[in-house]
Structures are given as structure tokens and as C-alpha cells.
Structure 1
Amino acid sequence: MKLVFMHGWSFDRRFWDPLLAVLGPCDALCLDRGYTGAARLEALPDEDFIAIGHSAGVLWFLNRDLPHCRVMVAFNGFARFSEGEDFAPGIPRRVLTRMQTRLHEAPASVVTPFRQQFTPFLPCPATLDSEALDQGLAELIDADGRQNARNRGETLLAVQGSHDSLVSNALHEASFATNRRLTLEGGHLLPQTAPQACADLIHDALRGWA
């Protein structure tokens, strides 16, 4: 079965390289939002696939019609990110709008401190697309995939890092109350820091649909 990957905010398709290296031969499609250069947002498959998202990449999947997606594996993800009247664990909107304001002046001054929250620190490249980054932040402010997450039930596996500095336990639980949830040792970059454990979970999903 095809595997479709989507990275989180400010990263690109290369984020998945450590995981793909241990995953072994597979039919993989790594989408790219274009935050660090030319986008590769190819059409989603018209055949059965497993969606694998990281952080904001999970929300991206949850806000799209995915008739051929049979399983979703969400690493360090969320079904909503911004705070709301019925979503107290979310991040205050003022934090995200402040980031938007600074993006067009100096995108690296926004992306670098964002990435410095995580271990390992993955420096941002010289090329950053402020328009694409702004669009990604707008989705983090406005998008709400909680209903789609609920609809997926047990076909969505949400994997949380035990020491995630961005996605709190409360945010994780509020996003995926009706889904399967699992905690791995590590922070916000599980596919980078625990690639074998992440690969094992993907292999389990593949075997489940073999």
C-alpha cells in the first residue's frame, strides 16, 4: 500500500529522510508545502493509502477529503492548534499572528527560534518562502480537524512524544479523544529522533491492511 507523508510547519520533504532510511523499500510519496523552496504538492493517490503526518502535517491531512485514506498515523500532531472558546489547550492566536507579522520582514527570524525549541535543532535553509510559511500559519490559526479525527476513530493512531515541547498532553488528548493514542520516549521530532520506533508503527499499519 502506498504511504503518503506530510511534514510540519517550516520543514520540507527531507524531514522524513531518517525514517525512510530505516523503513526499507516502500511505495512512498513525500509531499512538500514549499516552505524551503519549490513545492511538490502532488495529487493525492486515487488508490488506497496510509497517511503519515508530522505536527501541522497531521492537521493538513485532517482538513482534506481523503476517500482513499485507510489509516492515518499522526506523529506529534493535533486536530486543532489555535486556542478557542471550546478548545482551551490550544496555542493563543496572538502568538501565531505575531509570527505572521514578522514573517515577511525576516522569515529566518521566525523560523529559527521556532526550530530551536526542538532537539535536535535543524537549522533553517537559506531559502525560505514567506508566502508559503504565512499560508501555513493561517491554517494553524483557522483550521479545525476535530470532527474528521473523530470520524476516523480507531483508524487514526496518534503518537505523542513524552517530552514534546510544542504539543502538550492536554492538546494531544483533546485532539484525539476517540482515536488510538500512544506515547513514545522523545520530544517533538519523533520521526527524527526515534525513526525505528516510528517505522515499526508504520509497518504495523501496513500489516493491518495487507
Structure 2
Amino acid sequence: MNTVVLVHGWGYDAHLWDAVRPLLDPALPVVTLDFGYFGAVLPAPTFPEETLKKAASGMQRKAPGAQRPRHTIQVGEEASTAQRGDAPAQQLIQRFPSPVLAVGHSLGTLWWLAQSAIPWRRLLSINGFPRFVATGNYAPAVAPRVLSRMKRQFQREPMAVLAEFHARCGGHAPSGSPNLERLAAGLDALGEWDGRAQLAARRSDVVALAGTRDPIVPAEMSTMAFGTVEFIETTGHLLPVTHPEICARWIERLARA
């Protein structure tokens, strides 16, 4: 089985995947990357059996077996934004000698397509996109003026912007202290990174999951960007939180394919 590497989106941290990881086969090696938007990553909480059963929503639990190591790697800005040949990127590559199953949420998908130096075999995009802002040949997408306004507001009132963003996504803010410098760099990345060429070259290796009423990435944008999309009837922008059992099923399916 491939190592699974989970990457969160802007405004979140590695705990975005806390409801997904317990549902995965214990034998599946899983690594979570964290961009440090909210400081050091704390250990994932232990979920009661009742919580796991409810989250699974009928998903068959896996029998106890050999537990593969699962850990989080804190990715510094120099590694998350490095070009593939740079030293920080090479150091990250060395942790993954074989191609991985890449899983990205929102900006995490864009990172895999436009920036990541880690070799991947398949990519599961969840609420994701190959480019965030619209251009003349990429629409409908987020208008550049909308992102520019958000960046200006973030400079003046970062906590208010975060609060509004998390409310629109349909979830709570991470518990750590926000690293405003890294969050600002993430907003820049949303406006600058473009993974359309990589997506075009590897379209058959990419599966996209999206919500029908996502307020951040509308269904029309997902369809335009990926063509074929597995839509889930839901509001919000947080499928790993609201529908962890579906995310886990797709991760296991692709990891074994």
C-alpha cells in the first residue's frame, strides 16, 4: 500500500484530518503535513468508540492489526514554497523514497499540483482546485479583487478575517495561536500558484471530491477545473470534518488501487 500524505488548506492545521485518520486501516501508513499556520501541532485527540461508530455511519470498522507509524511533519515556509530543486524541497523528498498517495484539502490540493516536490502516484482533491483566482481562460473562479480585498483586510484585522473565513467554511478555528506571517504567505500563494499544467498532464491520476454547496469553491468552479467530480450533497467547505467516512473510503480505495 502507498504511504498516504494528508495536506490541509489555508486557515487550518493538521487536526483537520482528526476525524478521518481513525477510520483508516491501521496497516495503512499515514503522514500529515502541517504548514504551521497555527503554531506547533499538538497530539491528535483519542476518539471514543461511540464517536468513531457515529462518524463511520455504517462504514465497516477494520479488525485490529499491525499499526503502521502515523505522524505529523511540520513544514516550514521555506519548504512549502520551495521550488523542486531547492534544498528544503529536497530534504522533504528524502522522507518519501517512493511515490505517495497525495491527499489535499482546498489549498492543499493546489500545493500538490503547483508546488510539492514529493513524488505522488495518485491525488485525491477534497474541496480543492488547481488554481484559486479567475483568469481570462479560467472561469468561473474567485475574482482577483475578492482575494485582494481579503488580503488587505487581513493586514488590518487578521483575527476578524479568520473568524469570518471559518464561519463561511462551516467549522471552528484551530486551537493554536495563528502565525500571521505564514497565513499571509498562504494568501499570497492562493493568488500566485497555478497547477493547471500538472493537472492536465496527470488528469487520469486525479480524483476530485467536492460539496454541492461549497461557499468557498462553488460546484461550478469544481466542474470547470476538474471536469469529472464526485459531488457530495452538503454545505460547507470541510468534507474531512463533515464527511470523514467518505473521505476515508476514497483514501483507502486509491491507496490500494
How does the TM-score come out when normalised to structure 2?
0.75
User: 1:51 maps to which residue?
Assistant: 102
* Alignment deviations for residues 79-100 of structure 1 (CA, whole Å, 9 cap, x no partner): 1111211122121112212222
SS in 2 for 1:86: coil
Tell me the percent identity.
Answer: 31
CA–CA distance in 2 between the matches of 1:198 and 1:124? Answer: 20
Count of equivalent residues? 205
- Tell me, yes or no, if the aligned pair for 1:149 and 1:175 is still in contact at 8 Å: no
* Alignment deviations for residues 1-46 of structure 1 (CA, whole Å, 9 cap, x no partner): 1111110101000110001021132211111111111481171412
User: 1:8 maps to which residue?
Assistant: 9
> What's the CA shift for 1:67?
6.3
Cα distance change of structure 1 residues 124 and 38 upon mapping to structure 2, 3 Å threshold: closer
**Please, what is the CA RMSD of the aligned residues?**
1.8
User: 1:32 maps to which residue?
Assistant: 34
Instruction: Pick the structure with greater CA Rg.
Output: 2
> What's the CA shift for 1:65?
5.2
User: 1:192 maps to which residue?
Assistant: 241
**Residue identity opposite 1:22 in structure 2:** L
In structure 1, runs of 5+ residues without a counterpart are none
Structure 2 residue 107 is matched with structure 1 residue 105: no
User: 1:62 maps to which residue?
Assistant: 113
> What's the CA shift for 1:165?
1.4
User: 1:204 maps to which residue?
Assistant: 253
4+ residue segments displaced more than 6 Å: none
- Tell me, yes or no, if the aligned pair for 1:103 and 1:110 is still in contact at 8 Å: yes
**Residue identity opposite 1:201 in structure 2:** W
Alignment of 1:126-145 (within 5 A): 127-145=177-195
CA–CA distance in 2 between the matches of 1:31 and 1:106? Answer: 27
Q: For 2:167, which of 116, 127, 130 is the aligned residue?
A: 116
* Alignment deviations for residues 79-133 of structure 1 (CA, whole Å, 9 cap, x no partner): 11112111221211122122222323332111110110123x2135361111111
CA–CA distance in 2 between the matches of 1:17 and 1:62? Answer: 24
In structure 2, runs of 5+ residues without a counterpart are 42-73, 80-91
CA–CA distance in 1 between the matches of 2:40 and 2:29? Answer: 22
- Tell me, yes or no, if the aligned pair for 1:112 and 1:124 is still in contact at 8 Å: no
User: 1:147 maps to which residue?
Assistant: 197
- Tell me, yes or no, if the aligned pair for 1:107 and 1:128 is still in contact at 8 Å: no
